[in-house]
Structure 1
Amino acid sequence: MDNISKPEVILQSEGLLKYILETGVYPREAEILKELRNATAEHPLGFMGAAPDAGQLMAMLLKLLNAKKTIEVGVFTGYSLLLTALTIPNDGKIIAMDPDRKAYEIGLPFIKKAGVEHKIDFIECPALPVLDKLLEEPANEGSFDFAFIDADKNNYWNYHERLIKLVKIGGLVAYDNTLWGGTVALPEKAVSEPKREWRRLSLAFNKAISKDCRVQIAFLSIGDGVIICMRVR
């Protein structure tokens, strides 16, 4: 590793992230996204907001796909939702689901300010009933270009089984928080009790998705870990 030991790389990780953010992410972040990110940081659960470096990648993927029709499972204050709305064409549409309307309303003024509210269909509801309803209409199958999931980890596989039918062949599904704070790489005894169940769920999902022959995957250590799946059949 060119005279750099593994411990030194680990110790430098926070510094490297700071460098990446300050050099390549923040200077290109839309001002309205920055405003929403700062507003989200004041929320008691502000850490749940989408990572801006992951958002930068997401915007590029949306453009490469020429995405117009997307799904978002788990909205929180809407950073990734606003980013998607800013990226897709003016006639693009996003179906967004989250049972927490109050968190969404933190981001809503920024969405309105950006002039992209017309692209968003926000549904205050758990996602599974909405996805099942979409699948009742045959025309919806294979009609979506992209989906982003940042929600309850115990349902990730349930979401996947539905989204793999809704997204077109060649479309992408991205799952956030697949490293769960790095705990997936630690022995269970080294993980605090409150995080163990979510760690177990993350491990199970990551293992299952790696074996799913319906998708090609890229597992990235960006943000809190993102698995990007391209539907291949």
Structure 2
Amino acid sequence: MDNEKKESTSFSKGLLQSEELYQYILGTSVYPRESEHLKELRDITATHPSSEGIKSIIRALKISPTMKIDLFLDLLTNGAKDNKWAVMATAPDAGQLIALLLKLINAKRTIEVGVFTGYSLLLTALTIPEDGKIVAIDMNREAYEIGLPIIRRAGVDNKIDFIESEALPVLDQLLEDPGNENGFDFAFIDADKINYWNYHERLMKLVKVGGIVVYDNTLWGGTVALSEQSTPEAMREGRQRTLDVNKLLAADSRVQISLAPLGDGITICRRIL
């Protein structure tokens, strides 16, 4: 265990060594540019039952997984036992990068798998042009409706086609229309990890060459850097699924990738073939 602690703190060249530094980044470059509607939705999400504190613990796990993992598990299995999907909220710094990517590629048609309360969805709707459209898929409409009044006040709900469903049938249905093949500019995936590769295969047909697909939670609380034996049992299955999809994405010649250490890790895939 001591050797793993040493490895987990020495291999990283990242500067985010403390919560204070992370808050400095948010306060300096993220929050000042965040729209009032995004801030309102972020605040509602943060105070929603079971979501308080989970995102900060995920950030802490990225910095020192062997020291923080027990705290994360306690919150996940006790404080969040009635609402485990609270961990799906998008980190605001990751959201800022997503907005930049959307602008850089002039995205107009997008897909979002896993909506939660709609922070990344609202951010996307605010970023794409007036005639842009988002296909938003989630099995939990209740969570989406927490943020829906804010999305409506922001005046962008007309850009969103929310579908309450499992994602694979919806993606397959989209592929039945030849007009959708290579018809989307961007996709954001923050959903069930077991299907990430199934989503990826379909998105490689739906998202055009030059388009971008972003996958969330690709560091899985920092456990990807631990051995299976050192990973708490409750996180082992998710860790293995994350390791598998990370390996597949890294070997996929159809995409150029970058795994950014924001939030719980986001992997950015630009389709090149």
With the shorter chain as reference, the TM-score category is: over 0.9
| Superposed displacement of residue 36, structure 1 | 0.4
Alignment match, 1:192 = 232
125-134 or 35-44: bigger deviation: 35-44
**Aligned letter for 1:226?**
I
Q: Secondary structure at the match of 2:210?
A: strand
* Other structure's SS at 2:90 match: coil
Name the CA shift for 1:192/1:83 in 2 (closer, same or farther; >3 Å).
same
Is contact 2:259-2:266 (8 Å) kept? yes
Query: d(CA) in 1 for partners of 2:103 and 2:15?
Result: 33
Q: Equivalents in 2 of 1:8, 1:172: separation in Å?
A: 26
Cα distance between partner residues in 1 of 2:15 and 2:151: 37
Residue deviations 1:142-200 (CA, integer Å, cap 9, x gap):
01000000000000000000001000000000000100111111112222211110011
Give CA deviations for 1:15-72 in whole Å, capped at 9, x if unaligned.
3222211111111111111110110112224432100000000000101111110000
Q: Deviations over 1:98-141 (max 9, x none)?
A: 01000000010010010000000000001000000000111110
Cα distance in structure 2, aligned partners of 1:186 and 1:176 = 19
Distance change (3 Å), C-alpha of 1:81 and 1:8:
closer
Find the counterpart in structure 2 of residue 34 from structure 1: 39
Counterpart in the other structure of 1:232: 272
Per-residue deviation, 1:9 = 6.9
Amino-acid identity (%): 66
Question: Which residue does the alignment assign to 2:149?
Answer: 109
| Equivalent position of 1:172 in the other structure | 212
Offset at residue 14 of structure 1 (A): 2.5
C-alpha distance in 1 between matches for 2:14 and 2:141: 41
Q: Distance in 2 between matches of 1:190 and 1:35?
A: 39
Report if the CA contact (8 A) 2:16-2:22 is conserved. no
- Secondary structure of 2:161's counterpart equals strand
1:10 CA drift (Å): 7.9
User: Quick check: 1:148 aligned with 2:153?
Assistant: no
Q: Is the 8 A contact 1:85 1:116 kept in 2?
A: yes
Asked whether 1:12 is paired with 2:17, we answer: yes
CA contact (8 A) 1:95 1:120 kept: yes
1:181 aligns with 2:235: no
TM-score under structure 2 normalisation? Answer: 0.81
Secondary structure of the structure 1 residue equivalent to 2:246:
helix
Give the corresponding residue for 1:75.
115
Equivalent AA in structure 2 for residue 160 of structure 1: H
Report the more deviating stretch, 46-55 or 75-84.
46-55
CA distance in 1, matches of 2:88, 2:131: 29
Residue 8 of structure 1 and its aligned partner are, at CA, apart by: 11
**AA at the equivalent of 1:220:** A
Indicate the SS of the match to 2:215: strand
* C-alpha RMSD over aligned residues: 1.7
Contact 1:143 1:167 in 2 (8 A): yes
Mapping of 1:59-98 within 5 angstroms?
A: 59-98=99-138
Q: What is the CA–CA distance in structure 1 between the aligned matches of 2:244 and 2:126, rounded to whole Å?
A: 34
**What residue identity is the alignment partner of 2:181?**
E
SS in 2 for 1:123: strand
- Name the CA shift for 1:151/1:216 in 2 (closer, same or farther; >3 Å): same
Q: Is the 8 A contact 1:41 1:47 kept in 2?
A: no
What letter is aligned with 2:215?
Y
| Structure 1: gaps spanning 5 or more residues | none
Partner of 2:30: 25
Equivalences, count: 229
Q: List structure 1 runs of 4+ shifted beyond 3 angstroms.
A: 5-11
Cα distance in 1 between the residues matched to 2:15 and 2:35: 30
Contact 1:94 1:120 in 2 (8 A): yes
Report which stretch shifted further, 153-162 or 33-42: 33-42
